[in-house]
Amino acid sequence: MSLFCEPFRYEIIKDRNNKSVSVFKEFGVSHLERFDPGHVSKNISKDFTKFSASHNTVEVFNDKTQKIEKIERPFWGLNASLSMWLWSCFAEENIDKRTKIWEDCVYHYVGNHSFCEPHNYKCFEWQKGVNSIQLQFMLYDWVHKWTPIVSKVSSIGSTCMNEAFNSKIACYLDKSRAWKNINIRVNVAILEWNDPEHFLGDIQKALHLPPLPEDCVKPFEENCYSKMILKQKTVTKGSKKQNKYKKSIQSVPGGDYQVFKSEWESEDEDIDDFD
């Protein structure tokens, strides 16, 4: 579970389980509950696989022939496309717009792109759905079932970001040892997380320390640069999934690195050694 905040905006991001419901009610923060996008995406994909399998053969009425026909695997092939469409919805912060984008996917798959952005966006047409209003309603009912969950997914963070942040703190607070000045170490971890390239220089200026020897700084900067490039590639790879269906997706507020407020930035603290 994660607590992410922007100016005047707070969210508690969690997996889709009921373990924390009573705690949220006790502290009056139920309205801040949001779901992790990665977990919701997997849940929806898994549910659609079950939905498609349970409707492996569907009987529909053909208006042209005035007869009932059997259609085999009518929803086969939509799962991957729905998953990418879903990530474009997660990028939309406005809940009303997100809900509309999510439910408009049915129009999109039958060739009506007047609700898409841009309006002339083209993709494969769900031919079996194009030829059957009954199948369109079946897909819409399934999509609509997930609308309340999609509307509660966070667009500013995820639980995996919190896990990565905790891993950074663990680098400075090894559990196998007892540490003094824990707050100092946590603050250093926060500074490195927020600005890995310049945090050492910021610490030097704040403490009025002399510059580090060049032979110490260079290897650190090279290692730091490599980590930044790796993180940038990871963010870019994730963005490509979202941009495939919506090119105007905005990146996570705050840039590549999620910003956590450091006590060092807000309070004057007595500083001893790190041990």
In the chain (275 residues long), the average pLDDT of successive 10-residue segments reads 53 71 72 82 94 93 82 91 89 90 90 70 75 92 95 78 81 83 86 81 82 70 59 52 42 34 39 39
Is 147:101 a contact under the CB 8 Å cutoff? no
With a threshold of 0.75, does the pTM exceed it? no
Q: What is the pLDDT of residue 75?
A: 94
Residue 217: predicted pLDDT: 66
pLDDT for 224:
62
pLDDT of residue 117: 67
